[in-house]
Amino acid sequence: METVTFPEEKVVEFVEQMVIPLRVPHDHRPLSEDFNVKWTPTLIVLDESGKEHHRTVGFLPPEEFIAANLLGIGKMYFDKGEFQKAIEVLNRVLREFETTGAAPEAIFVRAVAKFKSLNETSHLKEAYELLTEKYPESEWAKRALPYRLL
C-alpha cells in the first residue's frame, strides 16, 4: 500500500481530515497480539476508547481504502448509538464510492440506523430492494432477504 495507496493525494487528504493513523509492524508486541494482527496490512477502525468497530486485511487500492475506512467510521457511530452521524458517513460512502466493496454493507448498516432512529421498517425494505438491484450477489443482499417481507 505504500507505493500505490498511501501516496495518493486523495488518501493523504482523507487520512489528514478523518483519522488518526497509527502504523504498527505485524510482529510488534504487545500491540499485534492485543489487536490480533496476523497479516499486513491490517486496517482497524477504533473509537476513542480503543474499541474496534471495523477491520480489513490485505491490500486496498485508494478508493477501496477510503471507502472501507468511512464504512468503519459509520459503523463506529452506529455502535455508539449515534445514528444520524452514522447515516451521514454511510451516505458519503454511497455517494462517492458506490462501486467499492464497502457499498453493500453501507446500504445495510444505513438502513438499520434509519430504522433504529426512526422506527420505520420501510428503510429496511428499501435496503433489500437496493441491494438486490445493485449488488445481488453480495452477502448483504442475502442478509437483507427477510426485509422483503416488510
Residue 46: predicted pLDDT: 96
User: Does 40 reside within a domain?
Assistant: yes
User: Distance (Å, rounded) from C-alpha 14 to C-alpha 101?
Assistant: 18
Global pTM? 0.93
User: Does 3 reside within a domain?
Assistant: no
pLDDT at 89 over 80: yes
Residue 52 β-bridge partners: 46
Burial group, residue 22, by CB count within 10 angstroms (0-12, 13-18, 19+): exposed
Q: Write out the residue range of the structural domain in which residue 29 sits.
A: 9-149
User: Does 129 reside within a domain?
Assistant: yes
Place of cell 464504512: 71
User: Distance (Å, rounded) from C-alpha 92 to C-alpha 22?
Assistant: 24
Of 1-5, 6-10, 100-104, the least confident: 1-5
User: Does 4 reside within a domain?
Assistant: no
**Domain holding 36: CATH number?**
1.25.40.10
Residues 140 and 104 sit within 8 Å (Cβ to Cβ): yes
For residue 73, how many C-alpha atoms fall within 13 Å in the half-sphere facing its CB? 21
How many distinct structural domains can be found in the chain? 1
Task: Return the CA Rg of the chain.
Answer: 16
Write the CB contacts of 46 (distance below 8 Å, at least 6 apart in sequence). Answer: 52, 53
- 16-46 per-position pLDDT tens digit: 999 998 888 878 899 889 989 888 899 999 9
- 126-146 per-position pLDDT tens digit: 999 999 999 999 999 999 999
User: Does 19 reside within a domain?
Assistant: yes
